A and B are shown apart, each in its own frame.
Chain A
């Protein structure tokens, strides 16, 4: 199963080294980051990964951020994905360090908490936004934390703030919505993709009782999840807490079979499934298994 999946991703690489979102499209930073991240677990992909990393570096702005396109600088959310893709490859250390510097100095729009009967979450907690000058949300914050920690930055005030923000945005009955919790007194409904990403980021950073309801929610959802984004993040989130299901490979196979119904999956979706297949304990364990990262693996010792 994994080799055909890998080959599908690898064969979509464009001459400039980047990867499109879908076949017949131009290269994009988010797709390239995901493709490189997924391929990097395999030994015979060095050349493809190198070309992908070079493409990402070519898209980096002078302040270190990597946006979704050169014309949309405010949409800097692919920056942590690029950090993950560059990994610990010494040839891209400068690009990675520049991106980390940007990320540590970039935050969402925050303001003192107002009337909690309208919005219950703490609007003052600093995380990361999708788009510059907007509020912080669960997915970009979780990805940023994962990227920073995978780069060897285990503790930093911004990581601590981000973790606090994620815990604050957890729904009282478990799981995460996009980022709100209660609005006008009503608890929002949890979403599996947001929940999986948040759990992935919190693993090793917080005590299990604090997320027990969320783990239960995701385990309950898993039998219903076969679309790649929700399934991929659910497997990574559960795996990060030691709850990866024994039948993971067959579940992923079922998801891939659904392309008969939905059409070919986008490259980031295929890459996410490949990562989920290769990362039994979440993305951090996946990244640590890479030989190049052996030198920094001890800095993540608390995340085993």
Chain B
């Protein structure tokens, strides 16, 4: 994290404006098969992640997130003036199933943490995968109350006009990816996912959460183009092209079994954070009792977008072994076969 003065080989934190400028310059190279991501910063070989304990949603989540940011070298100097986009997971809220979504109090904790570090603005954005009525999503998830009370704007990514960028991942056959134009107006994108198993991808964490950054008006509901192209491949392409800056995973109450919608709640009691999304997701997998190397998109991301091997991830906060809560895997679901960490 060069910007934080660390000695690790994590990705440099580019501003969104810098990234877009560089991406447009590199677009021709990417389209010709050259990995622009490698050209910019090379493969990411090591990273740091933070695990903070939180027994329930009444805990001081702002404090835990601030501690995590500090442990990861993110200072007030870095955040001051930054325009922060928080991307929670609100794939399909139902009042009876709050464990489907990133809890609104975790989003509030992140809002307060970033603002207290001097962020210029905080925006919450989401393009729910299954829902056309995003306002109802806000109401049913409870996030609407938080945003209204805290005077935080919300962007409905599904309906937003887009900007097409070169597909830097090249794992699907898509030459470009169309992101919402709001990415031009922010400096940091923070993926705020829920810790869940997933019946197609094995696990859905901060990388998969970015499906919700793809506008439904271009990709359909539920992101039909990405499903058609392949979920693991699309996850990699989106992450390689968007290059998000940070991840905060809500593992206070996660979902086990038939995730991401129909599974059952499980209390893991943690928030997991970090700059590098593959590393964060790999750490979450270990907390869930899942071998990250058996999640196809994480295996592919390793040595490219970020590390997933335990020895390549510097663990801060709680050791993952001390908070491990094996999430139930469904034997009827092929994507769950062989995932258990041994």
Contacts and interface: CB of A to CB of B under 8 A. Distances in A.
A is bound by B = yes
Contacts of A135: 224, 227-228
Nearest to B178: A72
Interface string A179-222: 00001111011011110000000000000000000000000000
B220 A129 contact: yes
B131 A183 contact: no
Contact of B136 (A72, A139, A189, A192): A192
Nearest to A20: B161
A188 B136 contact: no
A137 B221 contact: yes
| Contact size range, A | 35 or more
Contact of A227 (B135, B224, B330, B332): B135
Nearest to B221: A178
Interface in B215-272: 216-222, 224-225, 227-228, 258, 261-262
Nearest to A133: B228
B220 A131 contact: yes
Nearest to B159: A21
A81 to B, nearest CB: 12
A71 B159 CA distance: 16
Interface in B194-229: 199, 216-222, 224-225, 227-228
A225 interface: yes
A71 B217 CA distance: 12
Nearest to A22: B159
B332 A184 contact: yes
A134 B221 CA distance: 11
A186 B258 contact: yes
Contacts of A261: 144, 148
B78 interface: no
A11 to B, nearest CB: 20
User: Which of A26, A192, A262: most chain B CB closer than 10 A?
Assistant: A262
A131 B174 CA distance: 14
Interface residues of B, number: 36
Interface in A63-106: 68-69, 71-72, 74-75, 77
Contact of B220 (A26, A130, A186): A130
A130 B228 CA distance: 12
A184 B220 contact: no
A75 B223 CA distance: 12
A194 B132 contact: yes
A262 B155 CA distance: 11
A261 B330 CA distance: 41
Contacts of A75: 217-218, 220
Contact of B217 (A30, A191, A230, A262): A30
A193 B131 CA distance: 8
Contacts of B97: 189
Nearest to B334: A118
Interface in A104-118: 109, 117
Nearest to B262: A186
Contact of B135 (A139, A178, A262): A262
Interface in B319-342: 330, 332-333
26 contacts: A21-B161, A69-B161, A72-B162, A129-B220, A130-B216, A130-B220, A130-B221, A130-B224, A131-B218, A133-B228, A134-B224, A134-B225, A135-B228, A137-B220, A137-B224, A183-B262, A184-B333, A186-B262, A189-B92, A191-B92, A193-B136, A194-B132, A225-B136, A229-B133, A262-B135, A266-B159
Interface of B: 92, 94, 97, 130-133, 135-136, 138-139, 144, 148, 159, 161-162, 164, 178, 199, 216-222, 224-225, 227-228, 258, 261-262, 330, 332-333
Given A193-B133, A266-B159, 7 more contacts: A109-B228, A133-B228, A185-B332, A189-B97, A191-B130, A193-B136, A261-B148
